[in-house]
Amino acid sequence: MTIQDLAFNYLPSTSTGSMIGYTAPPLSVDDLPLQMYDFLIREIRTQDLQQGRLFVQRFLDGGQQIWKDTVAKIHSIKNLWSTTECPDEYLQYLKAIVGWTGSAAKIAEGLDAITLRRLISLSVDMWKKRGSETTIIDAMNILVPSRVRIWNWFDVRWMTDETAFDEMRQGRDPFLFSMAEVGPYYPEHWLIIRMVDPGRNNRQLVRNVVDLMRPTGENFLLVYLKFLDLFEIDGDLSQWDVSLYPTAIVEEGMIRLLSPATIEAAFVNVDGSTEWEQFILSARMRCTKGPAVWGGSGVLFLFNISTGNGYAAYLDLFSNLLAISRVVGWVSTGFVYFNFDTIGYTLQENVWYGLRVHVAREGNEIRMEVYVGGELRISHLEPVGLIVSDKGTTGVVHSAGEIMDCSEFEVLGLPVETETVEVH
């Protein structure tokens, strides 16, 4: 192919020079093209090369390095404005530029460099949107970081008006926004923040930021969780182990197990999850009806993935049952049931249900309570001799012939850890 310049002139194929229209790329601002040695006349440099073994060049290297260091320091000044490049010792000045002064300065005191950088990076947007629930959530996601959900009075009012067990509640469990122990104030004075525990070292920072973000005169109830996933990012399975059933996907605000050809499951996979013993598990799920009486869709708990031992609580739409089963070597055997025919209700396909499981020790035995739609349906005390697993992770599961979706999954440790941030 014949080479042409920008004016469409044909160039010889043997040309090695810069073609017509060629513009050399500019040097980077940090480049240092000047060399002290190059300022010497050619004769001196020639003699230095031929007879001096480059002594003069090596002699000037020290001065050249000092010049490079000086230029580098000049160019590094712009890094003082960067949340990622600013040296740790100068972050205290950068935080003042983005508003952490006066009474707000106490919030930023004592923070390690990484946390302080996070605080600085979100400051401008935070000040602009201060007071909104989404700002609190975004701040916690970045600053701590921690997954967060917030219930306000309007959520509480809307949901507690729907107290019947039916599809109208759409799987929202009133337990999630209970206002039973928040003090002498009316519910409209409170915001409920449920967040994955950031660790005791970060709780003071959480309290300070939440207090600063107060919309008007609200009080805050902070509920610390072991786990939370609202599936807000498509493809985000970072908190889940799906190695055994890789067909699980996250899309449209749900984790979806959409293969009816076989059993599917996804297991919670976060620090400490394999050691969970006492907790409250809540899932908002919907499923289809299986073709057999032994099937169901629900949650796993106290589950040991390496042995395939644990427990499952599931809805069996075919038989209109709620069941708890023991799982031994990946084989499930139901042993306690609740029949919805006894309350005149039929479980529906593709309707959202709130499934909640309480697991607690009573001496050497394990108390298991299962709620559907906020109503206690099964309470079982597992005796010592029948316990197949006394600790382990949780997850979602469905039998062959069914598919299921889960849009919320939360694990709350027992005893529950909460604290309040009140108007002062």
- Using one digit for the tens of pLDDT, what is the confidence trace for 83-128? 889 999 999 899 999 989 888 888 888 888 998 998 999 888 888 8
Task: Round to whole Å and give the CA distance between 117 and 64.
Answer: 35
Using CB atoms within 10 Å of the CB of residue 393, give its burial: 0 to 12 exposed, 13 to 18 middle, 19+ buried.
Answer: buried
Alpha helices in 360-418 (DSSP H): none
pLDDT score recorded for residue 183: 59
Neighbour-count burial of 38, counting CB atoms closer than 10 A to its CB (0-12 exposed, 13-18 middle, 19+ buried): exposed
Q: Return the H-helix or E-strand segment holding 379.
A: strand 375-382
C-alpha torsion angle, residues 196, 198, 199, 201 (rounded to 10) = -150
User: Which residue's structure tokens are 């042993």?
Assistant: 335
**pTM of the shown model:** 0.79
pLDDT band of 292, cuts 50, 70, 90: confident
Q: Across the beta sheet with 264-268, what order do the strands follow?
A: 240-241, 264-268, 393-398, 297-304, 309-316, 321-328, 331-339
Out of 111-115, 232-236, 339-343, 389-393, least confident range: 111-115
pLDDT digits (tens, 9 = 90+) for 185-230: 666 788 899 999 999 989 999 999 999 888 888 889 999 999 999 9
Query: How do residues 257-281 score in pLDDT, each as one tens digit?
Result: 999 999 999 999 999 999 999 999 9
Per domain, the residue ranges of the chain are 36-78, 88-229+417-421, 240-413
Helix axes 113-129, 133-143, angle to 10 degrees: 170
Q: Which residue has the higher pLDDT, 116 or 163?
A: 116
- State the alpha helices, DSSP H only, in 241-282: none
**Is 240-413 in CATH node 2.60.120.560?**
yes
Q: How many CB atoms lie within 10 A of CB 356?
A: 25
